[in-house]
Amino acid sequence: MCADRLDDPTRVDEGIHGYKVIGTRPIRQDGVEKVTGRALFGADIRLPGVLYGAVLRSPHAHARLLFIDTS
């Protein structure tokens, strides 16, 4: 292929089987929002009245726990 055809974003490559989508790069509609930090993800949504929890793991593999500070 020519290098100038690879740089053309409007090019539609039909491939060896005539498909127009398979093997092409998808257009990322939300790409700008994701890289600028404006996109909202599921972890960004805070709902009222929801109980949240966290898992705290020991940094020692087979240590015996003597005390847990729940504050």
How many whole angstroms separate alpha carbon 23 and alpha carbon 15? 8
Q: What is the pTM of this model?
A: 0.35
Domain assignment present for residue 49? The answer is no
Contact 12, 23 (CB under 8 A): no
Structural domain boundaries enclosing 26: 1-37
pLDDT surpasses 70 at 14: no
Least Cα distance to 24 among 38, 35, 10, 36 occurs for 10
Please name the residues in contact with 5: beta carbons below 8 A apart, sequence gap of 6 or more: 11
| Residue 60 lies inside a defined structural domain of this protein | no
* pLDDT score at 43: 85
**How does pLDDT run across 15-69, given as a tens digit for each residue?**
556 677 777 888 888 889 999 999 999 888 889 999 888 888 888 999 888 888 8
Are the C-beta atoms of 12 and 21 separated by less than 8 Å?
no
State residue 6's pLDDT score. Answer: 57
Count of the separate structural domains present in the chain:
1
Predicted pLDDT at 48: 94
